[in-house]
Amino acid sequence: MSVRAVRGATQVDHNDRDEILEATAELVAEVLYRNKLAPDEVISMVFTATPDLTAEFPAYAARKMGLTDVPLLCASEIAVPGAMPRVLRLLAHVDTELTRADIRHVYLRGAAMLRTDLPR
Q: Where are the domains of the chain?
A: 2-115
* Residue from 82, 76, 73 nearest 54 by CA: 76
Tell whether the model's pLDDT for residue 51 goes beyond 80.
yes
pLDDT averaged over every residue in the chain: 95
68-95 pLDDT, tens digit per residue, is 999 999 999 999 999 999 999 999 999 9
Q: Can you tell me whether residue 4 is helix, strand or coil?
A: strand
Residue 39, pLDDT score: 95
| Structural class in CATH, domain 2-115 | alpha beta
Residue 90, pLDDT score: 98
| Catalytic hit among 26, 30, 41, 74 | 74
Tell whether the model's pLDDT for residue 116 goes beyond 90.
no
Is 26 annotated as catalytic? no
Q: Taking residues 11-33, what's their average pLDDT?
A: 98
**Please, is 74 exposed, middle or buried when counting C-beta atoms within 10 Å of its C-beta (0-12, 13-18, 19+)?**
middle
Is 74 annotated as catalytic? yes
Q: Taking residues 12-35, what's their average pLDDT?
A: 98
Q: Taking residues 54-77, what's their average pLDDT?
A: 97
| Catalytic hit among 34, 41, 77, 104 | 77
Which residue type does 63 have? R
